């Protein structure tokens, strides 16, 4: 019986293709918009997330200065760290894989006739471990190179490409602020982040060499801490905070003048932006679905009026109120969910095309497809109910007399 | 719930049926106390000028409406006490309707039109097809199954409607001016069909008509006037 009703609904919809398509249009547009936006949004989120996890999983950054997002927290550079702070972290906190103190600056790098401006970071060999960075050629710093601050360097792939094209630069010399450094390694390419930041545009040298020959001081700007797999990063974060408060002699009740951030936090900051956008577009799509639903209600009311005699005949023949109600309800649900299906197909196609165009991965989010489908069906039930009830409650005598 | 033909007589009994439209002072009495008894197998012509109450009476007889007062017993059941859905079920299982305007579903094949009441009875597809084809054959429309009402003449459309009404093997057929829209030759065909179903299948027929010729096919005639039954004639050769 229900199957018959579906067939009947399908026939009624085909009977008036033009009108049915226009009726569905609102739903189609609404659903297509949701699907496109959510699919692109989750693609973008996925990319940002994977970019950031490329920066190193379980990674914490310890930086001087107050958190500027906190209310009343004016930007404050804070006292820089020292090497001893980094050593204290690795000595006193358990569950760590690597602790890498860093200091960096922007500098002119010269190799032969080529020169390029890039970031030079002074650090230890643990830096590569902390950040999960892999060498494509050469080797990392040895302990003695780090200790003595030898003039050796490792290039990011962008710098390598700019200065040496495809030649192997290992063993060559470059000059940083006129001081010659020997290249001992090149890092693998990591590509751009979702926001167009080149992750390969840098040179790393031993911390001591940076402090002595380039910066001329012993300041540490950021300490990278990476936790062992499965370690409790939240606990490590708290431990570092306690340790640093102690070392920096911050009285109880006073705010930290440094900040420990983990990558999850950075990700959530970025994804929350995406979420706000998605919610906004969701609201727009919701309005579109509402309008689409009203369109369906309108057409169903017209249809009930047009088919009054048919309804009368059905009632006379022995259709119950329920039967007529179901018939019209199924018709509006079929109409709206058909609109939903078309919207899903259009939305996914659009998202697929745009994803390629925007360079964002295309991620099929089955959840949202199912939700969109159910939602469009629900629109049919909600907005089809009133016309269907109107049809079901017709007086058969009046309906039969209707012209 | 398929009905059998071993029915008690009378199949229909009206006792002092009154129908009023509106309330209080402005109430309009369409029926002013109808007493009517119809036996199983009767072929009754209902006549009378417009406004005489015959349509109102037919609506009540067809369980589409209920009396304001009085009793309408359908096979002993007081229809006035039934709910809307219960009356729909009586129509579904015991009654067949034929209308002046045919009331077929447009752009729907003759076969599907005839199948319609069987769908509401929950008959499976195969059996439905067979029975609908059979019904169309019995009204002389074999080979016209795929045609839609738009492709059929008025007489053919009315025959489809008759097939739709008898496909369920109803105990009573209610026909509201079935020949009103047809010329005399088509009208004769329709009347022959109705007579045939009445004689061969024992279907009780109640037919509203203006035309004394058509009434001549019936075994008895009920004449309405001003909401009352004026005369009730029975042909001697029947009952």
DSSP letter for each residue of B57-104? HHHHHTTSS--SEEEEEETTEEGGGS-HHHHHHHHHHHEEEE-TT--P
CA–CA separation, A382 and A58 (whole Å): 48
CA–CA separation, B123 and B119 (whole Å): 6
B44 domain-assigned: yes
B103 CA: distance to closest CA in chain A (Å): 6
Nearest to A156 by CA among A216, A198, A197, A113: A198
Q: B186 in contact with A at a CB cutoff of 8 Å?
A: no
Q: B62 in contact with A at a CB cutoff of 8 Å?
A: yes
- Give the pLDDT mean for B228-239: 73
Judged by CB atoms closer than 8 Å, whether chains meet at A317 and B99 is answered as no
Look up tokens 């911390």; give the residue. A207
Strands across the sheet containing B77-78: B28-38, B12-21, B69-74, B77-78
CB within 8 Å of chain B, chain A residues 313-372: 313-323
Domain extent for B107: 40-68+83-234
Contacts of B54 in chain A (CB under 8 A): none
User: Can you count the helices (H) and strands (E) in chain B?
Assistant: 7, 10
- Sequence length of chain A is 403
B94 CA: distance to closest CA in chain A (Å): 10
CA–CA separation, B47 and B177 (whole Å): 10
B6 domain-assigned: no
Q: What are the CA-CA distances from residue B109 to residues B70, B114, B117, B145, B231 (Å)?
A: 42, 9, 14, 7, 42
Answer whether B46's CB lies under 8 Å from B212's CB.
no
pLDDT of residue A373: 93
Tally of domains in chain B: 1
B26 domain-assigned: no
Contacts of B117 in chain A (CB under 8 A): 317-318
A330 CA: distance to closest CA in chain B (Å): 16
CA–CA separation, B210 and B50 (whole Å): 9
- Cα A371 from chain centroid (whole Å): 20
User: pLDDT tens per residue, chain A (403 residues)?
Assistant: 678 888 888 888 888 889 899 989 989 988 998 888 888 888 887 777 777 666 656 788 888 887 555 544 445 567 888 888 888 998 888 888 889 999 989 888 988 888 889 999 999 988 888 888 888 889 999 888 988 889 999 999 888 888 888 888 898 899 988 889 999 999 988 776 655 667 788 899 999 999 988 888 888 888 999 888 778 888 888 899 889 888 888 888 888 888 888 777 776 777 777 778 778 877 887 888 888 899 999 999 999 999 999 999 999 999 999 999 999 999 999 999 999 999 999 999 999 999 888 888 888 888 889 999 999 999 999 999 999 999 999 999 999 988 7
H/E/C letters for each residue in chain A?
CHHHHHHHHHHHHHHCHHHHHHHHHHHHHHHHHHHHHHHHHHHHHHHHHHHHHHCCCCEEEEEECCCCCCCCCCCCCCCCECHHHHHHHHHHCCCEEEEEEEEEEEEEEEECCEEEEEEEEEECCHHHHHCCCCEEEECCCCHHHHHHCCCEEEECHHHHHHHHCCCCCCCCEEEECCEEEEEEEEECCCCECCCCCECCCEEEEEHHHHHHHHHCCCCECEEEEEECCCCCHHHHHHHHHHHHHHHCCCCCCCCCCEEEEEHHHHHHHHHHHHHHHHHHHHHHHHHHHHHHHHHHHHHHHHHHHHCHHHHHHHHHHCCCHHHHHHHHHHHHHHHHHHHHHHHHHHHHHHHHHHHHHHCCCCCCCHHHHHHHHHHHHHHHHHHHHHHHHHHHCCCHHHHHHCC
Q: B87 in contact with A at a CB cutoff of 8 Å?
A: no
- Give the pLDDT mean for B13-17: 93
- Give the pLDDT mean for B189-217: 93
Answer yes or no: is pLDDT of B236 > 60: no
Judged by CB atoms closer than 8 Å, whether chains meet at B103 and A315 is answered as no
Contacts of B121 in chain A (CB under 8 A): 318
Answer whether B91's CB lies under 8 Å from B62's CB.
yes
Q: Which helix (H) or strand (E) holds B230?
A: strand B228-234
**Can you read off the two tokens belonging to residue A374?**
């159910």
Q: B117 in contact with A at a CB cutoff of 8 Å?
A: yes
Instruction: For B93-144, give the DSSP string.
Output: HHEEEE-TT--PPTTS-HHHHHHHHHHHTT--HHHHHHHHHHHHHHTT-TT-
Q: Which of B53, B87, B103, B176 is the best residue to mutate to test the A interface, defined by the most A CB atoms within 10 Å of its own CB?
A: B103
pLDDT of residue A275: 76
CA dihedral over A320, A323, A325, A328, signed as positive or negative: negative
pLDDT of residue A2: 78
Contacts of A319 in chain B (CB under 8 A): 88, 92, 120
Answer whether A296's CB lies under 8 Å from A23's CB.
yes
Q: What are the CA-CA distances from residue B31 to residues B20, B37, B80, B227 (Å)?
A: 7, 16, 15, 4
Domain extents for chain A?
Answer: 2-51+268-401, 80-247
CA–CA separation, B20 and A402 (whole Å): 21
pLDDT of residue B238: 44
pLDDT of residue A73: 45
pLDDT of residue A313: 94
Answer whether B55's CB lies under 8 Å from B208's CB.
yes
Answer whether B222's CB lies under 8 Å from B214's CB.
no
pLDDT of residue A193: 61
DSSP state of B168: T
DSSP state of B55: H
Q: A309 in contact with B at a CB cutoff of 8 Å?
A: yes
Pairing assessment for the beta strands A152-155 and A179-187 based on DSSP bridges: parallel
Nearest by CB to A320, from B62, B85, B97: name it.
Answer: B85
Contacts of A322 in chain B (CB under 8 A): 85
CA–CA separation, B204 and B46 (whole Å): 13
The model's pLDDT over B132-182, given as tens digits with 9 standing for 90+, comes to 999 999 999 999 999 999 999 999 999 999 999 999 999 999 999 999 889
Look up tokens 């015959």; give the residue. B54
Strand partners, A181: A174
CA–CA separation, A29 and A35 (whole Å): 10
Q: What is the CA radius of gyration of chain A?
A: 33
* CB-based burial, A243-253: b 16+ in 10 Å, e otherwise: bbbebeeeeee
Q: A397 in contact with B at a CB cutoff of 8 Å?
A: yes
Mean confidence (pLDDT) of chain B: 90
Nearest to A389 by CA among A304, A299, A278: A304
Which CATH number is B169's domain given? 3.40.50.300
Q: Which of A306, A316, A394, A398 is the best residue to mutate to test the B interface, defined by the most B CB atoms within 10 Å of its own CB?
A: A316
B87 CA: distance to closest CA in chain A (Å): 8
The model's pLDDT over B50-92, given as tens digits with 9 standing for 90+, comes to 889 999 999 999 999 999 999 999 998 999 999 999 999 999 9
Look up tokens 């970071």; give the residue. A121
Contacts of A15 in chain B (CB under 8 A): 107
Contacts of B30 in chain A (CB under 8 A): none
């Amino acid at each position: 019986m229900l199957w018959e009703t579906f067939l009947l609904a399908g026939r009624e919809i085909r009977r008036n293709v033009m009108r049915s398509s226009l009726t569905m249009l609102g739903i189609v547009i609404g659903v297509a918009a949701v699907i496109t936006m959510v699919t692109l949004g989750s693609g973008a989120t996925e990319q940002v997330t994977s970019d950031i996890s490329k920066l190193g999983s379980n990674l914490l950054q310890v930086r001087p200065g107050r958190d500027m997002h906190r209310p009343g927290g004016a930007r404050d550079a804070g006292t820089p760290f020292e090497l001893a702070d980094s050593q204290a972290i690795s000595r006193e906190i358990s569950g760590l894989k690597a602790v890498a103190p860093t200091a960096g600056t922007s500098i002119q790098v010269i190799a032969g006739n080529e020169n390029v401006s890039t970031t030079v970071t002074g650090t230890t060999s643990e830096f590569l471990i902390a950040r999960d960075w892999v060498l494509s050629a050469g080797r990392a710093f040895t302990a003695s190179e780090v200790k003595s601050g030898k003039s050796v360097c490792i290039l990011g792939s962008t710098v390598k490409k700019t200065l040496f094209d495809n030649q192997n630069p290992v063993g060559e010399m470059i000059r940083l602020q006129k001081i010659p450094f020997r290249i001992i390694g090149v890092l693998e390419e990591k590509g751009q982040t979702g926001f167009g930041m080149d992750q390969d545009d840098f040179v790393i040298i031993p911390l001591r060499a940076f402090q002595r020959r380039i910066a001329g001081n012993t300041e540490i700007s950021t300490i990278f801490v990476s936790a062992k797999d499965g370690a409790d990063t939240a606990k490590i974060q708290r431990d570092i905070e306690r340790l640093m408060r102690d070392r920096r002699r911050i009285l109880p009740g006073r705010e930290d003048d440094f900040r420990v951030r983990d990558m999850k936090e950075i990700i959530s900051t970025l994804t929350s932006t995406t979420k706000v956008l998605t919610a906004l577009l969701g609201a727009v799509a919701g309005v579109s679905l509402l309008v689409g639903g009203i369109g369906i209600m309108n057409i169903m009311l017209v249809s009930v009026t047009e088919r009054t005699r048919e309804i009368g005949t059905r009632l006379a023949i022995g259709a119950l109120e329920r039967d007529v109600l179901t018939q019209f309800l199924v018709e509006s649900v079929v109409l709206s969910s058909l609109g939903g299906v078309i919207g899903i197909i259009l939305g996914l196609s659009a998202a697929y095309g745009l994803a390629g165009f925007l360079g964002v991965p295309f991620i099929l989010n089955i959840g949202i497809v199912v939700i969109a489908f159910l939602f469009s069906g629900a629109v049919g039930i909600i907005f089809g109910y009133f016309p269907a009830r109107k049809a079901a409650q017709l007086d058969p005598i009046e309906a039969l007399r209707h012209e | 719930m398929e009905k059998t033909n071993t029915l008690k007589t009378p199949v229909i009994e009206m006792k002092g049926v009154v129908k009023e439209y509106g309330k209080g002072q402005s109430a309009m009495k369409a029926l002013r106390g109808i007493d009517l008894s119809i036996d199983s197998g009767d072929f009754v012509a209902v006549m009378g000028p417009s406004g005489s109450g015959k349509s109102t009476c037919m609506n009540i007889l067809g369980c589409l409406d209920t009396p304001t007062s009085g009793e309408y017993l359908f096979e002993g059941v007081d229809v006035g006490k039934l709910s809307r859905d219960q009356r729909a079920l009586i129509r579904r299982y015991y009654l067949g309707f034929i209308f002046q305007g045919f009331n077929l579903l447009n752009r729907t094949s003759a076969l599907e039109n005839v199948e319609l009441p069987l769908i509401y009875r929950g008959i499976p597809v195969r059996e439905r097809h067979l029975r609908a084809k059979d019904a169309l054959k019995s009204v002389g429309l074999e080979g016209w199954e795929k045609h839609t009402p738009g492709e059929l003449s008025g007489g053919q459309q009315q025959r489809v409607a008759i097939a739709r009404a008898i496909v369920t093997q109803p105990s009573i057929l209610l026909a509201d001016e079935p020949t009103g829209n047809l010329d005399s030759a088509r009208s004769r065909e329709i009347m022959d069909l109705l007579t045939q179903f009445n004689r061969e299948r024992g279907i009780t027929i109640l037919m509203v008509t203006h035309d004394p010729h058509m009434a001549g096919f019936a075994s008895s005639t009920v004449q309405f006037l001003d909401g009352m039954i004026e005369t009730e004639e029975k042909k001697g050769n029947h009952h």
